[in-house]
Amino acid sequence: MNEALLEVNNISVSFDGFKAINKLSFSIFEGELRAVIGPNGAGKTTFMDIVTGKTRPDAGEVIWGEKNFSLLNRSESQIAQLGIGRKFQKPTVFEEQSVYDNLLLALENDRQPLSVLFYRRNQSDDAKIEEIAAEIGLADRLERRAGDLSHGQKQWLEIGMLLAQEPRLLLVDEPAAGMTLEERDKTVALLRRAAKTRAVVVVEHDMDFVRKLDCRVTVLHEGSVLAEGSLDHVTENQDVIDVYLGR
Amino acid sequence: MGGVLTKFLMKHPSILVFLGILSVFTLFVTVGSEAFGVGFISTSLVKTLGKTLCFCLIAIAMDLVWGYCGILSLGHFAFFGLGGYMIGMWLMYERTRLIVENSMANAALPPTPAEIQEAIGTQIFGVVGGAEIPTIWMFAHSLPIQLALVALVPGLLAFVFGWLAFRSRVTGVYLSILTQAMTLALALYLFQNDSGLRGNNGLSGLQNIPGLEAMPQSELSIYFFLLSALALGVGFLIAKLIVENKMGNVIMGIRDNEARVRFLGYHVETYKLFIFVLTAIMAAIAGAIYYPQAGIINPAEIAPIASIYLAVWVAIGGRGRIYGAVIGAALVSMLSSWFTGGQAPNIELGPLRVVWVDWWLVLLGLSFVAVTLYAPKGVGGLFDLLKTERSK
Amino acid sequence: MLRIFTILMAIFFAVTPIVGQEANDIVATKLSIAVEKNAPNIIKGSVKTASPIIAELVETDDPAAMRFLSLWQEKSLWYRKTDKRIFAVKEQEDGSFDLLDFNNLEVVANLPKKQIKQIKPNSGLRALIAESLVAFRLLNEDKQVRQEAVANLARSGKAQHLQPLRAALLIEQDQVLKNEMQRLETLLTVQFGETSQERVEAIKSTTDSLSVDTRANLNRIVATQIKLNSELPETANIARVISPGSTDFSVEQAYDLLIAADLAKPIPTVSERKQLLIDNIENGKVDGFTIHNLATEKNRDAAYLSLVADGKVPFWSPGLNAEILVAQYEFVEVFDEPDANVTTAAMAALDTIERKVAMSEFADVALDGLSLASIYFLAAIGLAITFGVMGVINMAHGEFIMMGAYTGYVVQQFITNYTVSIIVAVPLAFGVTFMAGVLMERLVIRHLYHRPLETLLATFGISVALQQLAKNIFGTQARPLTAPEWLDGALVINDVISISWIRIAIFGLSILFFVVLMVVLNKTRFGLETRAVTQNRRMAANMGINPNLINMLTFGLGSGIAGIAGVAIGLYAKVTSEMGGDYIVQSFMTVVVGGVGNIWGTLAGAVMIGFLQKGIEWFNPANTLAAQTYMIIFIIIFIQFRPRGIIALKGRAAGD
């Protein structure tokens, strides 16, 4: 078995005495698709905050890649540049800018201000953007203002932006929220395709969606891992039934 | 490089339109001036117009930092003032030196360098009870160095302040208050007599350019007007180059969702700092061209209120569109001087008499509230309406 | 006895050849004799000639003599023009004057005003007389007279007053007066005590007092002069060796001492040398040097040296350096007071007192800081509510403060009783600004809840309009808001620490506000609903809370408090249309530094900023502008390390 891509060891964090994450350990391998489920307040979002550098844990370690890089004390942008992409709960695309500009912003390129300042549009970038746009089904909407897209389209645009970043690990927070059934299926297909070339972690409430992803599932509860395994395996776990499914 | 610029201009014809209008206006004023033309535009009006162009330039800076990058800086007039002080030091020092040397030429003994220095010191700092020339004036004799300082000093202040503020993720209204505090601190510091910059007397006589004593003000005013127009044109071009580029995408992204940009891997702080420092330098250059036309600079002009008015101009003109800032600054500052100058006809309403000198600020304040409430896109937003009408 | 009397009478008549009948009426006393003898000098009234007379009169130890001196001092003595005899007088209804014998105040004659003339001693002489009377007056039955005498002593106590003062001290009944006498006795003993032992004891006992005159007294004892050591006698009471070039003792001063002692000649200064060069210009040359070459110090020096060589100007050479010259001598600070025991004790006492004064000053600064903190708290607390609870930044907050202050001013135009007017003004100011706040919330802020930066600008527009409106209505000059009498003056704790009653009242008001707001926000239904709306607007609305109403009331409350703060601030500062601007930045700082969203934070912020500003002013009292500058810079740096303020809310809720 090869090394884990991301390894989270025994992290804890508390806000004003409330333990949001409690000795959580978690690891994911290259090219793996993983679903994380859990009731409200289980610490799913805080877990993502910690991995992406938004929140600093009180204890524990977060280790990245083959070289066993610690992600603690690194800024969000550094972590993003290392290859961790994140999609937020609410679709957050830049509504004032065109779909093309949104994807251009995300496209894997030098992020230094000077190279951004003297950036010139080129064919290889345009080709990449068109390819991604086709993948997320927005090829004919490149010049449209992102704010004018439908809710589902925005979600896909955001996933497209993640893909454009070419991350090695994708953290996706509730991608199916507010989507129609048809849109959901498209999203599932998108994520499964993405997981072929990179690791993907999907946080989701919706059991049907998780079932369709057809992957290993981690159940969080009160800031720690309650169970892990296939969806069928965890749904048979009595603890899981008690705290989550049996509600 | 030239090819790139041409291509860029072709893609954004609005720049050419703007530069065209600016050129025509400049030509019109020159032809109408007393020194070079038929003379129906008075020298003082030329000066006012030149100063207004400087205001337009700082408004562009403000639009970049606020309209595009989302940082409501209440401190850009501080940079404007600092730029003015930097050039003012050279103007005042050199002019005083010439006067002093002239007056000492007929002394019984020719003056020694130390005597000249002392006389200059007394002449400049007598009003604050000093005779020694403070260390910060050590380069005041050199125009090239002071010109460099016009950009360096405000740039450095903006860099240090911005680095501290952005690093600790102070955003939104907090950042605005912090910039306001910075401005207040600077103004209070300059108000002190031992600030080395003549306390609340400020620097004066800046309209007299050393070495150009023979040139009449009518002629000088046109040169400064042309310089202001040139600076505005260049500033407009630079601003457009920035915002109509990937840089523009990044900073607008920062304005709309800072965290998202960060998670895309951009070091947001560096970008903010870049824009903050760049616009501070633009403001400083505007100030350095403004004050030789105004003739006097004092700390009161740096007070936080000036920077808030700057935000008002940009908001009235319309944020997030560079020409909007120019329109706002020109419109409001010209109207302001028209109303407060007592030129506006007073309104007689029987017993009630509206004296505009007294009531202009009330009107401005209220109209500003109205613009914020009902026309958040400002005057520039009207152009958008026209555009959409036509495309329909 | 009889013989003495006859002799006196003989002298009397010999000296004063006057009309027999009248002479018999005059009681011949030591006083009369002395007065007759010195009449011309008394009338002339110069300090120099009069002082021996005063001494002579005081020595008689006669109450009548004291009365005579008092009359003299009060310009109540007159003399008859014909024979220069001196009388007290009493004016009659017909304009004539009764002449009274100054021994017993009996009438001896009556004359028209033309024939007599008033004796008018000058003020120097009057002071001299008053001083000489002090000892006597200390025993006067009238308490007022004794008080005046003591006050006179405090101003100009002399060695000869020490004994009378001690005597008076023994019989003084009034405790206050006795304490003051005791204090003066100590001070006089410190200066004029007979033995070194006695003075040292007195000096040691002064250390309880922090008063300015005690310190002045001790400082007088330790006063020094700088002298050349070689010029001093063996016995000189030397304080310390001092080297020229320090801040207290410049090289020039040292060199002047050398010149005075004939140990050195004056060195021509740069400007003197220049003048001498100019004086020696002949045909465009100075001793062979052409003038236009003399534009450097070096060439001027060369020209001067050449003049020196010709003996035309005083000697000078570049090596002639005052610093080197004075370094060859030892300079010392010498006490004026010769007694080393006394000076040592005085130095020690001053040390002790100064330490106590420093401690008191520290306490005083702390009180100032507390008072400033409470003003900032008052100014900021309304803002903390609107900004902290609602997230709305109100740039017109300062103008609400101004509105409150002007409300107070207007009320005083109608109600002249200051106490009543203040009692009326406080709720009225609250009402006016509450309404203004509600109006503003309804008309403007409500529409901008999701655009905080634009709220800032819109409220700024309102601030500009309100300020100009106030200027148009009330003019640009400052209007007074007068405090009731019972708030006048200050609470004096000792000679150093004092605090004005208005500031104490403001402090009390801040405490009251703090408590009331804590109760309102934490214990009432309104507070609960406010917090609910703050935390989750939609959820609160679902639970039957009307968020619009709550926002409106919260904004009104914040504004109303600004109004009351305006009355309080107006009481000690001036009411102008620009007063709001003086507090707005500090108020924002207070809220931001303290931590947005709770009242404890505002309290902490106000305390920090208040103390900081006073603390910085303490280190550099001459420059309050610099103090403010440094304070703001400190705050900017502080925010770097605690961006959420002193008392910060943590967690996810605070972040987004």
- The SS3 call for residue C328 is coil
HSE-CB for B11 with a 13 A CA cutoff: 11
Confidence of residue B91 (pLDDT cuts 50, 70, 90): very high
Contacts of B362 in chain C (CB under 8 A): 464-465, 468-469, 472
**At residue C5, what are phi and psi to the nearest 5 degrees?**
-55, -45
Instruction: Report the pLDDT averaged over residues C156-163.
Output: 78
**At residue C91, what are phi and psi to the nearest 5 degrees?**
-80, 135
Instruction: Report the pLDDT averaged over residues B120-129.
Output: 88
Tens digits of per-residue pLDDT, C328-353?
Answer: 888 888 888 888 888 888 888 888 88
Give the percent of chain C with pLDDT over 90: 9
Given a contact cutoff of 8 angstroms between Cβ atoms, the answer to whether C103 and C31 are in contact is yes
Q: How far apart are CA B194 and CA B125, in angstroms?
A: 10
Q: Which amino acid is at A73?
A: N
Predicted pLDDT at C4? 52
Tens digits of per-residue pLDDT, A70-107?
Answer: 888 888 888 888 888 888 777 788 988 899 999 998 88
Q: How far apart are CA B69 and CA B258, in angstroms?
A: 10
Of the candidates B6, B19, B34, B48, the one whose C-alpha atom is nearest the C-alpha of residue B229 is: B19
**Contact A76/B259, CB-based, under 8 Å?**
yes
Instruction: Report the pLDDT averaged over residues C316-335.
Output: 82
Of B108, B305, B311, the CB nearest to C457: B311
In the sheet that A6-15 helps form, which strands lie side by side, from edge to edge? Answer: A18-28, A6-15, A59-64, A69-70
Which subunits sit against B, judged by 3+ Cβ pairs under 8 A? A, C
Per domain, the residue ranges of chain C are 2-126, 138-223, 268-319, 357-655
Tens digits of per-residue pLDDT, C165-210?
Answer: 888 888 888 888 888 888 888 888 888 888 888 888 888 888 777 7
Tokens of A234: 């965890």
First and final C-alpha spacing in chain C: 111
Tokens of C510: 């801040």
Q: How far apart are CA B285 and CA B151, in angstroms?
A: 7
Does B382 touch chain A if contact means CB atoms closer than 8 Å? no
Predicted pLDDT at C651? 41
**Contact B250/A120, CB-based, under 8 Å?**
no
pLDDT at C15 over 60: no
- Kind and range of the H or E element at C196? helix C196-205
Contacts of A46 in chain C (CB under 8 A): 652
- The gap from C-alpha C77 to its chain's centroid, in whole angstroms, comes to 40
Predicted pLDDT at C6? 52
Of the candidates C114, C560, C621, the one whose C-alpha atom is nearest the C-alpha of residue C368 is: C621
Count of B–C CB contacts within 8 Å? 154
Instruction: Report the pLDDT averaged over residues C537-565.
Output: 86
- The total of structural domains in chain B comes to 1
pLDDT at C17 over 50: no
pLDDT at A247 over 70: no
Q: Which of A49, A50, A117 would best serve as a mutation to test chain B binding (most B beta carbons within 10 A)?
A: A117
Contacts of C651 in chain A (CB under 8 A): 15-16, 18, 20
**Contact A94/B259, CB-based, under 8 Å?**
no
**Contact A105/B246, CB-based, under 8 Å?**
yes
First and final C-alpha spacing in chain B: 38
Of B109, B176, B311, the CB nearest to C277: B109
- C-beta atoms surrounding B366 within 10 Å: 15
Count of A–C CB contacts within 8 Å? 11
Q: How far apart are CA B213 and CA B216, in angstroms?
A: 8
Alpha carbon of A103: minimum distance to chain C alpha carbons (Å) = 25
Instruction: Please enumerate in sequence order all residues whose Cβ is within 8 A of that of C655, keeping only pairs 6 or more positions apart, or say none.
Output: none
Given a contact cutoff of 8 angstroms between Cβ atoms, the answer to whether B154 and B281 are in contact is yes
Of B245, B263, B267, the CB nearest to A86: B263
Contacts of A18 in chain C (CB under 8 A): 651
**Contact A113/B242, CB-based, under 8 Å?**
no
Q: How far apart are CA C22 and CA C65, in angstroms?
A: 21
Residue B228 structural domain: 2-391
**Distances from the Cα of C432 to the Cα of B120, C217, C319, C403, C568, angstroms:** 56, 56, 79, 8, 15
- The SS3 call for residue A92 is coil
Of C300, C453, C458, the CB nearest to B373: C458
Instruction: Report the pLDDT averaged over residues C340-369.
Output: 87
Does B250 touch chain A if contact means CB atoms closer than 8 Å? yes
DSSP C517-540: HHHHHHHSHHHHHHHHHHH-HHHH
CA-nearest residue to B243 within chain A is A117
- Looking at every residue in chain C, the average pLDDT score rounds to 82
pLDDT at C319 over 60: yes
pLDDT at B223 over 90: yes
Q: For residue C482, what is the DSSP state?
A: P
Predicted pLDDT at A29? 86
Q: Which amino acid is at C347?
A: M
Domains of chain A, first to last: 6-96+167-245 (3.40.50.300)
Give the percent of chain A with pLDDT over 90: 3
Tens digits of per-residue pLDDT, C408-433?
Answer: 999 999 988 888 998 899 999 999 99
Instruction: Report the pLDDT averaged over residues C251-272.
Output: 84
CA-nearest residue to C626 within chain B is B189
Instruction: Report the pLDDT averaged over residues C564-574.
Output: 87
| B57 or B338, greater pLDDT | B57
Predicted pLDDT at B227? 96
Of the candidates A16, B256, A59, the one whose C-alpha atom is nearest the C-alpha of residue C653 is: A16
Per-residue HEC secondary structure of chain B comes to: CHHHHHHHHHHCHHHHHHHHHHHHHHHHHHHHECCCCCCCECHHHHHHHHHHHHHHHHHHHHHHHHHHCCCCCCCHHHHHHHHHHHHHHHHHHHHHHHHHHHHHCCCCCCCCHHHHHHHHHHHHHHHHCCCCCCHHHCCCCCHHHHHHHHHHHHHHHHHHHHHHHHHCCCCHHHHHHHHHHHHHHHHHHHHCHHHCCCHHHCEECCCCCCCCCCCCHHHHHHHHHHHHHHHHHHHHHHHHHHHCCHHHHHHHHHHHCHHHHHHCCCCHHHHHHHHHHHHHHHHHHHHHHHHHHHCEECHHHHCHHHHHHHHHHHHHHCCCCHHHHHHHHHHHHHHHHHHHCCCCCCEEECCEEECHHHHHHHHHHHHHHHHHHHCCCCCHHHHHHHHHHHHC
Alpha carbon of B339: minimum distance to chain C alpha carbons (Å) = 14
Q: Which of A13, A15, A48 would best serve as a mutation to test chain C binding (most C beta carbons within 10 A)?
A: A15
**Contact C458/B364, CB-based, under 8 Å?**
no
Q: Which of A13, A16, A49 would best serve as a mutation to test chain C binding (most C beta carbons within 10 A)?
A: A16
Alpha carbon of A46: minimum distance to chain B alpha carbons (Å) = 15
> C357-655 in CATH: which number?
1.10.3470
Contacts of C297 in chain B (CB under 8 A): 112, 114
Contacts of C623 in chain B (CB under 8 A): 192, 194
**Contact A116/B250, CB-based, under 8 Å?**
yes
Contacts of C652 in chain A (CB under 8 A): 15, 20, 45-46, 49
Q: Which amino acid is at B331?
A: L
pLDDT at B32 over 70: yes
pLDDT at C12 over 50: no
**At residue C647, what are phi and psi to the nearest 5 degrees?**
-105, 100
**DSSP strands (E only) in C415-553:** 490-492, 498-500
Alpha carbon of C443: minimum distance to chain B alpha carbons (Å) = 10
Q: How far apart are CA A181 and CA A23, in angstroms?
A: 37
- Kind and range of the H or E element at C130? helix C123-137
Contacts of C617 in chain B (CB under 8 A): none
Give the percent of chain C with pLDDT over 70: 94
Lowest mean pLDDT: which of B175-179, C162-166, C340-344? C162-166
Of B181, B188, B358, the CB nearest to C636: B181
Alpha carbon of B128: minimum distance to chain A alpha carbons (Å) = 45
Which residues are C281's β-sheet partners? C286
**Contact A16/C652, CB-based, under 8 Å?**
no
Tokens of B127: 């009003």
- C-beta atoms surrounding C472 within 10 Å: 15
pLDDT at C3 over 70: no
Predicted pLDDT at A1? 40
Given a contact cutoff of 8 angstroms between Cβ atoms, the answer to whether C60 and C49 are in contact is no
CA-nearest residue to C470 within chain B is B362
Tens digits of per-residue pLDDT, C262-310?
Answer: 888 888 888 888 888 888 888 888 888 888 888 888 888 888 888 888 8
Predicted pLDDT at C16? 45
Q: How far apart are CA A241 and CA B214, in angstroms?
A: 94
Contacts of A78 in chain B (CB under 8 A): 267
Which residues are C498's β-sheet partners? C492
| A25 or B288, greater pLDDT | B288
pLDDT at C487 over 50: yes
**Contact B109/C300, CB-based, under 8 Å?**
yes
Of B110, B188, B312, the CB nearest to C629: B188
Of C300, C448, C632, the CB nearest to B112: C300
**Contact C589/B176, CB-based, under 8 Å?**
no
Tens digits of per-residue pLDDT, C434-484?
Answer: 999 999 999 998 888 878 888 888 898 999 899 999 998 898 888 888 888
Instruction: Report the pLDDT averaged over residues C596-623.
Output: 84
Lowest mean pLDDT: which of B183-192, B254-263, C149-158? C149-158
Alpha carbon of C392: minimum distance to chain B alpha carbons (Å) = 9
